[in-house]
């Protein structure tokens, strides 16, 4: 493959992290307006990313932390209602960054719900492509006692750390939400119902499998851990 082909291939891959889609609908006027306000007067790409991250982290109330409805999924709905689970907040942050022409994707962790083993669930966060550092993860779920997520690239300061063998930092960077995440957010009407049915996946540990690094969704299980 020639240098030109490699560059074109990389550009095509990166473009999917700039797309407006059903749930990361940055072309919505309400999202575009906020994205413009947050970037106004900024001095750098890092400044824009930090402003967007901190705005979503601090201004969108986490559904179960605050025990409020409705359940949201689309970025524009998260913004209208000012509430969302971690997954929904990550959709809004991705939309704000993409509206500012900054590539952004979705990441997931598998975490213990009660921090003492089973049951487990997915936790949603973001990866943003920074020209100076490459892909960098941020977690806008909202800070509280014992949770202190910050934006200090190149060092990650996420909300949660992996502490047991059944938890995992999933390596994929997704351009769209996982189907089972969307299913839960669209099926249930209240934060309490979602809390009782948080999405999870089966971890499949594969060795030397190219699909494991491609963010492939297969039969309800995520290849790669």
In the chain, count H helices and then E strands. 8, 11
Distance CA 72, CA 79 (A): 9
- Token look-up 């939400």 returns 177
| Domains contained in the chain, number | 1
pLDDT in tens, 119-138: 999 999 999 999 999 999 99
For the stretch 16-74, pLDDT in tens is 999 999 999 999 999 999 999 999 998 899 999 999 999 999 999 999 999 999 999 99
Tell me the two tokens of residue 223. Answer: 């290849």
Predicted TM-score (pTM) of this structure: 0.88
For 222, phi then psi, to 5°, come to -100, 120
- Whole-angstrom Cα distance, residue 213 to residue 216? 8
What is the DSSP secondary structure assignment for residue 214, as one 8-state letter?
A: T
pLDDT tens digits for range 163-174: 999 999 999 999
Residue 141's pLDDT is what? 98
SS3 96: helix
| Rounded CA separation 140/34 (Å) | 16
What integer pLDDT is reported at residue 191 of this predicted model?
98
Average pLDDT over residues 105-115: 95
Which residue did the predictor score with more confidence, 33 or 213?
A: 33
Domain holding 13, by residue range, is 3-223
Q: Any idea what the CATH number is for the domain that residue 163 is in?
A: 3.10.620.30
> 83 with 60: CB under 8 angstroms?
yes
Which residue did the predictor score with more confidence, 213 or 1?
1
């Amino acid at each position: 493959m020639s240098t030109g082909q490699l560059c074109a291939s990389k550009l095509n891959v990166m473009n999917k992290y700039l797309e407006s889609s059903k749930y990361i609908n940055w072309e919505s006027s309400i999202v575009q307006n906020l994205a413009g306000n947050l970037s106004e007067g900024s001095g750098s790409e890092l400044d824009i990313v930090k402003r967007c991250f901190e705005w979503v982290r601090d201004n969108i109330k986490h559904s179960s932390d605050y025990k409020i409805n409705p359940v949201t999924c689309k970025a524009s709905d998260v913004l209208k209602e000012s509430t969302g689970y971690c997954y929904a907040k990550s959709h809004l942050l991705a939309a704000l960054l993409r509206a500012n022409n900054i590539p952004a994707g979705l990441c997931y962790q598998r975490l213990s719900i009660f921090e003492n083993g089973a049951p487990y669930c997915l936790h949603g966060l973001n990866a943003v492509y920074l020209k100076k550092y490459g892909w960098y993860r941020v977690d806008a779920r909202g800070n509280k006692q014992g949770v202190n997520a910050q934006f200090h690239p190149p060092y990650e300061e996420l909300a949660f750390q992996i502490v047991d063998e059944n938890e995992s930092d999933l390596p994929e960077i997704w351009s769209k939400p996982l189907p089972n995440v969307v299913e839960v957010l669209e099926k249930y009407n209240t934060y309490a119902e979602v809390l009782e049915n948080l999405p999870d996946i089966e971890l499949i540990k594969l060795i030397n499998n190219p699909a494991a690094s491609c963010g492939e969704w297969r039969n309800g299980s995520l290849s790669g851990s």
